[in-house]
Structure formats: C-alpha cells, structure tokens
Chain A
Amino acid sequence: MTPIGLKSPPARLPRRQRTTADLRAMQRLMAHALYQPLTPADDLAPRFRDGRAMADVAASFIKPNDRLSSLERLQIYARCYWYRVIDCVYDDSPGLRALLGEQRFSALVRAYLAKYPSRSFTLRNLCSRLPQFIRDEPRWTAPRTALAHAVARFEWAQTVAFDGEARPVLTRDDFADAPPAKLRLALQPYVTLLAFDWPVDDYVIAVKQRDALRGEASHAVDHGPRAASHRRVPWPRRGRVHVVVHRYDHRLFYKRVESAAFRVLEQLAAGRTLAQAIAAAGARAKPDRVREWFATWMELGWFCRR
C-alpha cells in the first residue's frame, strides 16, 4: 500500500546531493521506509515496497558504524516512528481499543497509518481520518464495522470538543429582533452532533472507568479492584441515541438530547432558518419544549454567528 500523499520513492539516489531536489529524493526514500509497517517482531520489513532488499535500500544512503549496520540504524528511526504514532492512536481511542481487543485494534491502527500517514504538523489530527478508514476498509473491524465506526466518530468528536475553535457566543440580545423565518444560527465549531444505533457514550464512559480502575489497581498494594479492572466491558446493546459532544468551562461533556431536539440542531447546523429547523422536527417540537431546549443550549454557549 502506498501512503496517501507521499510521492513515489526514487529508484536510486544521486551519489552527491547538489540540489534541494536531491535532498527531497533522499527524504522521500527514507519516509517510505519509515511508513512501511514493521514486522510482528517490530523489525523493518525485509523488502522495501519496490521489491528491493530493505538492507540494500538502507545501505544506499545510511552509513554503517562499528556497532550497527545501515539497516539497524534505519530501524531505530522506524521503531521510534511507529511507537510514537501507535501510542498516539492508542491514547485517543480507548473505546475502539476495548471494542476490538488488543490484537485487532493493533492491526487496524497499523493498516490505517500505513495508508494515512499524518498530514498535519500536530499529532492532534492523527485520528481525523480513522472513521473514514474504518468505513472504507471494513475487513479490519468486521463484523462490528458499524459499531466501530460509531465509536471512532465519537472519539474523534472528543478531540474536536477539547480544543476546537470557539467563536463569540450569541446571546438573546443578538437576535431578539430577528424573525424566526430569517434567523440562521451556527453551532460552535467544537460541537459535534452524533446519532448512533448504540449507546456509544455509555460504552466509552464504562471503558474509561474500567481503565481508570486498572490504573489504580496497578499502583495499589492490595489487589482488591483487580478483578473488576480486568473485566471486559460488555458490548453495547442496540438502541438509538442522540449525543452532542461539547465542552463547557474547558471541560469535555457528552449531552444526550431527544430526537426532536437533535433534528432541530441538525437543521440549524445545515444552515436552515430557525423556523425551518423547528418545523422539520414536526409535532414533537412543542413550543414549551422548544423554549426549554433553546434556554439550555444558549446557556451552554452552543450558538454563534453564521
């Protein structure tokens, strides 16, 4: 698999590097070697992607020394690369990891990163394309692809809620005079609306609680909580939920909303007017209920100018 974005490696490097193009060729070659998945023993693959022996590729640009071959020196960097990016996905995906189990999760992460190396200067965005990858390549998560996709979306929404942009909050005064038929509100960029066929929020909370207990148990002298901490969190049972992932006072929250309220938010997020959004929710959006919903959402600071 060719990593998306990275251009083909050169068949051979010039003996002397005279230009920036020569420098780029060497950097491409090394990046291809680093992005290629390690073997199960965490060694460099024996063959480079074009079929050459990896040892020959390494020797073509890296000097050996009295202790390490060219291949071994390249391998130090390859391991550092893979451990760093895998650790990052692990940290950001406790729910997905629990759902798939260590082995399948590890295989998924390696396949994902082999296809989608980071395209951002920050590791924060490393998992941004994981939900899409899960959907595009269901073999890594089958037969629970839909659930895995839901959990991955939920976990990505947490990254967005943690440090996504906050625009100036709209207050009642900002639209006191605006007629509902004209008024269009936007949701804060850090807010994500998610509808799932499983209570994914409860599942991820249970996993995090289990992991926290596990962390405590590993530090504790007596092994009291150990049995609980090693328990597998049961997979969630089907049931439609509507969750808003957001932050308040710099802390992360998941708020369940009823389906009609969710519909209103969805419509507003899609750019419909306030009147259209409420109408789309149908008879369930009774005026008192709508007033209550908006009072809460305003208080949470979810709306900003479009």
Chain B
Amino acid sequence: MPANRFNAFTDYGIGLGLRVPHYAHILERKPTCGWFEIISENFLVDGGRPLHVLDRILEQYRVVQHGVSLYFGSADKPDRAHLRKLKALVKRTRTPWLSDHLCWGSVDGTYTHDLLPMPYTFAAAKHTAEKIRHVRDFLEVPICVENVSSYAEFHASEMTEWEFLGEVVERADCGILLDVNNIYVSAQNHGFDPYDYLDHVPHDRVGQMHIAGHTRFEKYILDTHDHPVLDPVWKLYAHATKLCGVTATLLEWDDKIPSFDEVHAEALKANEFIAGAREAKKGGDGFPSRPEFPRAPPQPRTARRAVPTSR
C-alpha cells in the first residue's frame, strides 16, 4: 500500500544508480536489483552505445529517471529542445516518476553543470513551482524535487530551507525526493539540526529517498558520493522512514565506485530500517529514539580534487 499519494511505489524498495563501471556485470550476470536510477542526461543522446545499453537494461529491470539539469530554480525558461528529448526518453523508459533538483545552475543559456543553492525567497519559490508545473505538464509524468547539499547561504533568504522546500512543493503540487545525506551535509555546513528539517518537510509528499556518502573537509562537508553511507546518515534515514513510511530508496555512489556487489550490499542495509518502519506500523516502535545531533567540530581532512558528479 502506498505510504502517501506521491509514494505509489513503496514496493520498489531499494534501488541502485546505473553506472558505467557496472554495465558489463549487470548485462552478463543479471543480478537481482529492485530498480535502477539512471541519470537522464547520460541518455539524452541521439544514438550509439548509451541507448543500446539502456534498452537492454529496460528488458530486465525497472528504471527511474533522475536528472541533473532541469534547474527548476534557474530564472531562465526551460529549454524546449531539452524537454522534447527528455519526453522521448520518458516514453522509452516508462519511468513511473521523474526527479531533479531544487536548485539553479544555468543563466542566459550558459550552464555551470552544478547544483547551485537557491535564495529561499517567496519570489523564487513561486517561480520555481511554476517551472515544475510547466515541466510536469509537458512531460506528463509525476515530478519529485530533490533537496541539494549546499555550501553557501544568501542574504536574500526569507525562510529556512525546509520551509522553502515546503513552499515550492505545495505551490507546484509535486512530490519530494528526500536526500537524507544532503540534509546531513547542509546541516553540518550551516549549523542547523537535521531532525528539525526532517520533522518539518511535508511527509505526505515524499516519493523517494536518496542515501549516500560524503567527505569531511576542515571547515565544511562536501557531498562526494564516494563512500559508504555514514552512521549519522543511517540514523537520519531511519527517522525519515518512520515519518514518511516505507519509501523507494536509492543509494548514490558516483565516484571511486567499487564492485556492483559491494554497492548493492551497502544499499541493502536500508532494509533493516524499512523493516523497522513496517514493525512500527504494526504497533511497536522498531526505531531508536531520536538521537542527539552531534555538534562536535568537523575533523580535518585533505582531498582537494573531489568533485560531486550528481547529487
């Protein structure tokens, strides 16, 4: 049974990001996997090997599209040629929902290829929600917007990030892809309590979750997706699952990618928390009580060239 009206796919369970180093393993061994999340942009091509591989994956697996370049928060209008290509891909994959980020990244038709944070203003929320509606109406597929990790805040902001997220999704009447790792990263970088964030997002709109690893630097945390999920993120995930119900969940691992089996095993750890959520629903509370958010100063590390590829 769906946990909410934006979460009709609780049976999807745990998914993995489809990444090039795993293609051969997946096509040859056909491992079991609840579903694959693809980065839409990798397949918005006109031909060749990427689409050939995708078609073979589609014969065997359920695929959900995740994008990194719709830039709902950019002041620019959506690019029509991009949307037309995306619509063709939506038809090809029959993705049950489509996600992209609550961020901006392009201006005047130039692209940063990054997921840049929004100023949390009412004007930006209104504009962003209109773009989400426009894209959904054009693509004819439900949309979930994902919270990004951020390293900066703006003077112009008029509300918290979770209030802004709520404002946008209510105005757009769309779903949320709740990235629990991003909440943790931003909480550390901006000094808020991630449990406040989780408690205040509209739980009935969460249609998917992301979990991932991050990297701690001396003065901030970067969302690098090159590690296993860290313990505080699993704790947040447990709390999020308790609040939102069992939700399709995806582990993101985009850099220093280990073997398919290793990534899969890491993702399947989420089942423990999903079982907890099911248990809680039956009456008992299978969850640890809300843990104290650690506020110890970050540990110094050095690794300068780490760059997130998609978040």
Assess whether A77 is in contact with B114, with CB atoms less than 8 Å apart: yes
In the complex, which of the residues A3, A164, A189 contacts B110, with contact meaning CB atoms closer than 8 Å?
A: A3
In the complex, which of the residues A73, A83, A85, A163 contacts B49, with contact meaning CB atoms closer than 8 Å?
A: A163
Interface residues of B in 57-111 (CB under 8 A from A): 69, 73-76, 79, 82, 104, 106-111
Determine whether A103 belongs to the interface, using a CB cutoff of 8 Å to chain B.
no
In the complex, how many angstroms separate the beta carbon of B20 from the nearest chain A beta carbon? 12
Determine whether B289 belongs to the interface, using a CB cutoff of 8 Å to chain A.
no
What is the CA–CA distance of A72 and B190 in the complex, to the nearest angstrom? Answer: 14
Determine whether B5 belongs to the interface, using a CB cutoff of 8 Å to chain A.
no
Which residue of chain A has the shortest Cβ distance to B218 in the bound complex? A67
Tally A-B pairs: CB < 8 A.
154
Q: Which residues from B are CB-within-8-Å of A72? A: 219
Task: Indicate whether A162 sits within 8 Å of B109 (C-beta atoms), given known contacts A20-B123, A62-B155.
Answer: no
Task: Indicate whether A117 sits within 8 Å of B110 (C-beta atoms), given known contacts A23-B119, A163-B49.
Answer: yes
Assess whether B113 is in contact with A77, with CB atoms less than 8 Å apart: no
Q: Which residues from A are CB-within-8-Å of B108? A: 5-7, 28, 31
Assess whether A35 is in contact with B48, with CB atoms less than 8 Å apart: no
What is the CA–CA distance of A42 and B307 in the complex, to the nearest angstrom? Answer: 14
Q: Which residues from A are CB-within-8-Å of B44? A: 121-122
Task: Indicate whether A121 sits within 8 Å of B69 (C-beta atoms), given known contacts A18-B123, A31-B107, A164-B48.
Answer: yes
Task: Indicate whether A162 sits within 8 Å of B49 (C-beta atoms), given known contacts A18-B123, A20-B127, A63-B154.
Answer: yes
Task: Indicate whether A62 sits within 8 Å of B154 (C-beta atoms), given known contacts A23-B119, A80-B307, A250-B52.
Answer: yes
What is the CA–CA distance of A76 and B223 in the complex, to the nearest angstrom? Answer: 12
Task: Indicate whether A27 sits within 8 Å of B155 (C-beta atoms), given known contacts A81-B114, A117-B111.
Answer: no
Q: Which residues from B are CB-within-8-Å of A23? A: 73, 75, 119, 121, 123-124, 127
In the complex, how many angstroms separate the beta carbon of B280 from the nearest chain A beta carbon? 36
Task: Indicate whether A250 sits within 8 Å of B48 (C-beta atoms), given known contacts A6-B107, A76-B152.
Answer: yes
Assess whether B111 is in contact with A120, with CB atoms less than 8 Å apart: yes
B contact residues, range: 35 or more
What is the CA–CA distance of A7 and B110 in the complex, to the nearest angstrom? Answer: 10
Determine whether A150 belongs to the interface, using a CB cutoff of 8 Å to chain B.
no
Assess whether B41 is in contact with A63, with CB atoms less than 8 Å apart: no
Q: Which residues from A are CB-within-8-Å of B107? A: 6, 24, 27-28, 31
Q: Which residues from A are CB-within-8-Å of B110? A: 3, 5-6, 31, 35, 117-119
What is the CA–CA distance of A283 and B106 in the complex, to the nearest angstrom? Answer: 54
Which residue of chain B has the shortest Cβ distance to A5 in the bound complex? B110
Which residue of chain B has the shortest Cβ distance to A28 in the bound complex? B107
Assess whether B41 is in contact with A163, with CB atoms less than 8 Å apart: no
Determine whether B199 belongs to the interface, using a CB cutoff of 8 Å to chain A.
no
In the complex, which of the residues A24, A68, A77 contacts B219, with contact meaning CB atoms closer than 8 Å?
A: A68
Q: Which residues from B are CB-within-8-Å of A208? A: none
Assess whether B82 is in contact with A121, with CB atoms less than 8 Å apart: yes
Determine whether A87 belongs to the interface, using a CB cutoff of 8 Å to chain B.
yes
In the complex, how many angstroms separate the beta carbon of A251 from the nearest chain B beta carbon? 8
Assess whether A80 is in contact with B308, with CB atoms less than 8 Å apart: yes
Interface centre among A23, A34, A117 (most CB of B within 10 A): A23
What is the CA–CA distance of A63 and B161 in the complex, to the nearest angstrom? Answer: 14
What is the CA–CA distance of A67 and B307 in the complex, to the nearest angstrom? Answer: 21
In the complex, which of the residues A16, A35, A165 contacts B156, with contact meaning CB atoms closer than 8 Å?
A: A16
* Closest 4 pairs (CB-CB, A-B): A165-B46, A24-B75, A163-B48, A163-B45
Question: Can you list 9 A-B pairs, Cβ within 8 angstroms, ordered by A?
Answer: A16-B156, A30-B116, A68-B219, A73-B151, A77-B114, A80-B308, A117-B111, A163-B49, A163-B51
- B interface, CB within 8 angstroms of A: 41, 44-52, 69, 73-76, 79, 82, 104, 106-114, 116, 119, 121, 123-124, 127, 151-156, 189-191, 219-220, 222, 304-305, 307-309
Contacts A18-B123, A23-B121, A74-B152 aside, 18 further interface pairs with beta carbons under 8 A come to: A6-B108, A17-B124, A22-B123, A23-B73, A27-B75, A28-B107, A35-B110, A61-B156, A62-B155, A76-B222, A79-B304, A80-B114, A80-B308, A81-B112, A119-B109, A121-B82, A190-B48, A251-B49
